[in-house]
Structures are given as structure tokens and as C-alpha cells.
Amino acid sequence: MVRTPCCKEEGIKKGAWTPEEDQKLIAYVQLHGEGGWRTLPEKAGLKRCGKSCRLRWANYLRPDIKRGEFTPEEDDTIIKLHALMGNKWAAIASSLAGRTDNDIKNYWNTNLKKRLKRKGIDPITHKPINPTGFEPINHKLGSSGSARLLNRVARKYAGDLNRELLTGIIIGNSTIIADGSRNSCEVHSPTTTLLNKTAAISNAVTLNMFNNTSTSSDSCSFSSDLDVLFSNEEIDNVALMGELKSILSYGSADAGDNSVTDEMDFLDYWNEEDDLEKFVSSLDSKTGLFMSLSEE
DNA sequence: AAGGGCCTCAACCGCTATAGA
DNA sequence: CTCTATAGCGGTTGAGGCCCT
């Protein structure tokens, strides 16, 4: 069944309001008050549907409407209330004097949502965006060690990191072929193996940092870390580091070279240690190795 | 200067909630 | 209780302006 329209279609004007129409509406509401929207257009001499009049008044003509930029305080309020209530624009608007639900909805969709995303916060859940799509678990140990590991990996092989390649591996693409125009890199290794190994190294360095106050772990000495912690493991250090290098880098820049290049997608995106922490935390939770090793 | 793409925001649409007969 | 009219809400659209090439 076709829904009956709120007003007759013939002769009803749509689209942007003219100043003359606004004046007619303002004059009528000032004289008779709000309400009676269905009959208002005819009485006010407007060729508009009542619903359109109500919306025009509520979102634009009402005298108490606040115009202009949203203040940082208003931003905070909207974000906090959205976290609590979700897309309940009218409810949110009721807490912001002079702002309409439409204003807030538009402002959210065009500004605040993007701002949160840029900060790595999911605008729907208001939680940090997890790049692997897996929920992080609580660690007995913080993942700052893992973050430091990745920072050092980044610096060690920093010439030219490729976020897409790395992300593809983390989220489960088994084979990713990088841009052939710049030191292409093809990864064939099973994803789970890479994840396990990467997480194991994270653990190794984290545990090493907790147990060792020397500065050796800050000097990019992965091989010695691995020798100490994985001497009895079936891990080939050279092959492992080669894989890591494949994952994280196109190039073969000098160790410690942090110079920023146009191609440093990975560092552009993951340039904050917090981001790296989130990433490694997710990685740890996906493999489950962090907990099992740290509990030993 | 032109035109294509992107962004903003006013307005519309479709639906639900509510009031009152 | 049911039906109808009206109000209100949230999602979506599209005109117009801006920016970039």
C-alpha cells in the first residue's frame, strides 16, 4: 500500500526557501505560535507542505537558534553524548542550547566523525580502532615492549616501509605482491607462521626488557635477543629476520636511518607509539602467544 | 579559465510515536 | 481498542560552493 503523502503534491513548492517565504512563516508563527503545521501553509499564504514549514522553522528560523562555529566545549559534549546515546541527535541537541538536531547531525557527519577516525577512534563504538579486526585481550604485561620492538624494526629497516603490505599480512592475506615499481616484495609464507613468529619476537623483546636493565635491547640487537631467548626454538634467526624485513620493508636502508620518505606509508600511519602499541596488542591477542609466554 | 571532484548543509523522505476522537 | 492526524526523528539527497588540476 502506498503511503499517503503528508500534503497534496499539486502546487506544492519544494527546495530552497526564499526570503519572502521565510518572512511569511516568521510572521505567522510570531502571531499564532508554533503548531498546527498541517493547516499553517494555507493560512500563512505559503505553497509549502506543513512538514516543510515545521522543519524550516525548527532548523533555521527559530529565534533561539545558535549560528556559527561549534566551540571546543560543544565538540566535547557532542562526542561524549554520542558515546553514551549513539545517533540520538534530538537528545544530544537538547543538551546544547541553540543547536538543532539537524545541525549536530551534519556537524557530526562532516567533522567530528572524521576527526575521531583520524585519531584512531571508531566513531561508532568510540573505542580505539583495531587494525586487525580482532578484539584485544588484557595482557599481564603491557605491550610497550612490543611497540618499542616495532619502532626499532621500523627504524632499523626504515628506508621504505609499506603499511598496506604489513596490514595485509596481519589481517590474513596469505600472499601480497607489492608495487613492482619500487623494490617489489612478494610474501609467500603462511600467515599464521609469520604472525606467530612476529608475536614471539615481541614477547622475547618485552620479556628481555623486563629482565634486563642494560641498554642492549635498545640498540637494535635483535639477533642477540633471539639467540638468548630462542636458542632452543626451531627458529632460524636469519630466515626470520629476512621475513620480517620482507614484511616491513621494501628497501634496505641503513640501520637507524629514520629519514622520512614519500613511500613511508607505514610510518605515516603508525607514527605514534600508541598506534604501534594498539597494533601489537592486537597482534598479540590474535596469536595468543603473548599471554602464554608471559605466564611461563 | 574551465571543469571535475569533494564537501557542506538545508531540505526531503520514510518511518515511528503520540495524542485525541 | 482502533483509527487518524500530527509531531518528531534519523537517514539520505542534492544544490551550490570551494578547491585542485
Question: Could you read off the pLDDT of A151-209 as tens digits, one per residue?
Answer: 444 343 333 334 443 433 333 332 322 222 222 222 223 333 334 444 444 443 333 33
CA–C1' gap, A39 and B21, in angstroms: 19
CA atom of A246 to C1′ atom of C20, Å: 37
Which amino acid is it at A242? Answer: G
Q: Which residues touch strand B (CB under 7 A)?
A: A 3, 6, 13-17, 48-49, 51-52, 55-56, 59-60, 102-103, 105-107, 109-111
Structural domain of residue A187, as residue ranges? 144-295
**Same domain, yes or no: A192 and A286:** yes
In 3D space, the residue among A249, A263, A103, A107 whose CA is nearest the CA of residue A116 turns out to be A107
β-bridge mates for residue A177, sequence order: A186
pLDDT of residue A227 exceeding 60, the answer is: no
- CA–CA dist A281, A128 (Å, integer): 12
A166 occurs within a structural domain: yes
Å separating the CA of residue A16 from the C1' of nucleotide B2: 27
Amino acid (one-letter) located at A85: M
pLDDT digits (tens, 9 = 90+) for A207-219: 333 333 333 333 2
User: Residue A54 sits in a domain of what CATH number?
Assistant: 1.10.10
Give pTM, 2 decimals.
0.51
Q: Are A127 and A121 in contact (CB under 8 A)?
A: yes
Give the cell for residue A114. 572524521
Domain co-membership, A183 together with A77: no
Residue A194 and residue A279 in one domain: yes
Place of cell 618485552: A206
Could you tell me if residue A200 is inside a domain?
yes
Shared-domain flag, residues A224 and A168: yes
**A254 in a structural domain:** yes
pLDDT at site A36:
81
* A189 grid coordinates: 609464507
DSSP letters of A242-256?
HHHHHHHBSS-PPTT
Residue A96, pLDDT score: 86
Note whether A229 and A280 are same-domain residues.
yes
| Nearest nucleotide over every DNA/RNA strand to the A105 CA, judged by C1' | C10
Name the helix (H) or strand (E) containing A177: strand A176-177
pLDDT reported for residue A10: 55
pLDDT at A130: 56
Q: Which residue has the higher pLDDT, A91 or A133?
A: A91
Query: Does one domain contain both A230 and A275?
Result: yes
User: Do A89 and A225 fall within a single domain?
Assistant: no
Distance A115 CA to C19 C1' (A): 20
- CA(A245)–C1'(C8) in Å? 58
Other beta carbons within 10 angstroms of residue A205's beta carbon come to 23
* Nearest Cα residue to A192 out of A74, A288, A96: A288
Q: Which nucleotide is nearest to A55 (CA to C1')?
A: B11
**Which range is least confidently modeled, A57-66, A83-92, A118-127, A165-174?**
A165-174
A112 and A191 together in one domain: no
Return the pLDDT at A91.
83
Strand C protein footprint, C-beta under 7 A = A 6, 15-16, 35-39, 50-51, 54-55, 58, 87-91, 101-102, 105-106, 109
CA of A46 to C1' of C13 (A): 24
In a shared domain, residues A54 and A89:
no
pLDDT at A86: 84
Question: For residue A7, is it within any domain?
Answer: no
One domain, residues A110 and A210: no
Cα→Cα distances A243→A145, A191, A255, Å: 20, 11, 17
Chain B footprint bases within 7 A of protein beta carbons: 7-15
Q: Is residue A278 part of a domain?
A: yes
Judge if A168 and A263 occupy the same domain.
yes
Of residues A3 and A130, the one with the higher pLDDT is A130
**Does residue A252 have a pLDDT over 60?**
no
A266 and A223 fall within a common domain: yes
Q: Is residue A134 part of a domain?
A: no
The count of domains in chain A is 3
Closest CA to A280 of A159, A170, A168: A170
Average the pLDDT over A223-234 and give the result: 33
Q: CA A104, A107, A109, A115: dihedral to nearest 10 degrees? A: -120
pLDDT score at A73: 86
Residues forming beta bridges with residue A121, ordered by sequence position: A128
Distance A156 CA to C17 C1' (A): 47
Phi-psi region for residue A178, left (φ > 0), alpha (ψ -120 to 50) or beta?
beta
Q: What percent of chain A has pLDDT over 70?
A: 40
Q: Is it the case that residue A112 has pLDDT exceeding 50?
A: yes
pLDDT score for A12: 78
